[in-house]
Amino acid sequence: MTRTVRFHELGGPDVLRIEDVEVGAPGPGELLVRVDAIGLNRAEALFRSGNYIESVKEFPARLGTEAAGVVEAVGARVSGFAAGQPVGVIPAFSMNDHGVYAERAIVPAHAVLHRPEGLDAVTGAAVWMPYLTAYGALVEVGGMRAGDTVVLTAASSSVGLAAIRTARRVGATPLATTRSPAKKDALLAAGAAEVIVTDEEDVAARVLELTAGRGAEFVFDAVAGPGVRDLARAVAPGGTLFLYGALSGEPTPYPGFDLGMPALNMRTNTVTRETTADPERLRRAAQFVTSGLSGGAFAPVVDRVFGLDEIVAAHRYLEAGSQIGKIVVTVDH
């Protein structure tokens, strides 16, 4: 039996329970991983509360798609992995099928990467989802390159911080936005060229000022909702407004007609459907991230660490939204 976080109904953090569950052996194409640290993501809070892009199919339900640990057993038709190897689990499956909020978890082998040297379990649980998300959308799909400008909302999130460094690595200029002036110095230290405090400044006007009226080639937005009207005004002709999250929880309009039908591209992007589901994209993304880590251009940013027994408190902290970087939950064995 292994201690596993499950929930039997939709709701807030208090619905989470730690229960003893039989794990079993990995099947064909699967690995059994001893989980040492778990990276928390906003998607898990949305899934738990019934507000995610995918609904819970049955209860009790599991959570978690990102973790660091060690391979304990290898299923049939799996190559490239052996017991004892340190690995990272990446978002590449449905939480209706697997979950890593546990002492041990069975996961598909295609959702596992070897842990880069220099990363312990905590930092190993904080690196893959943010950088794969930023790289997959902005570089693979968007084609971001040197000289481009990218506006980043929710810039103090783990994905936002990874996007700042990803932009810097390809020679683009990252403009960070935040609601709180208290986060401005941290975002500048992380590499943002400028920080726009949305409660105090007009985002579009400031972006146009910083780009000599051109606008940004990319806006990378985690919020969505009615605010996309203002963000669209900051997009350069032919540029792209990426929506990779929906933190606002409100309907999201297409603002092109309101703005007089500019050459505006607006699309959604999810790491699980466009990056980790494509073996070649994932191979390139993993190499991009690994080389960035080894060269010092990239680094995991961990805001706070909780223990598995504190999973409810960890989810409350996640929902409060005050963190800068990743929230990680460690698992004692």
- pLDDT given for residue 235 in this prediction: 96
Nearest of 24, 30, 28, 22 to residue 4 by alpha carbon: 22
Domains of the chain: 2-126+301-330 (3.90.180.10), 129-272 (3.40.50.720)
Sole residue written with tokens 């904080």: 126
* Rounded Cα–Cα distance for residues 214 and 198 (Å): 20
Name the DSSP class of 139.
Answer: I
First vs last C-alpha separation in the chain: 13
- pLDDT given for residue 145 in this prediction: 97
- pLDDT given for residue 267 in this prediction: 94
List the structure tokens of 311: 């999973």
CB atoms within 10 A of CB 211: 17
* Rounded Cα–Cα distance for residues 122 and 126 (Å): 7
pLDDT along the chain (333 residues), means of 10: 97 98 96 98 95 94 98 96 97 97 98 95 97 97 97 94 97 94 92 93 94 96 91 95 89 88 91 94 97 95 97 97 94 92
- pLDDT given for residue 4 in this prediction: 98
- pLDDT given for residue 258 in this prediction: 85
- pLDDT given for residue 166 in this prediction: 98
* Rounded Cα–Cα distance for residues 239 and 260 (Å): 15
- pLDDT given for residue 259 in this prediction: 84
Nearest of 234, 239, 208 to residue 143 by alpha carbon: 239
Q: Would you say 170 and 298 are in contact if contact means Cβ atoms under 8 Å apart?
A: no
Backbone angles phi, psi at 155, to 5 degrees: -70, -20
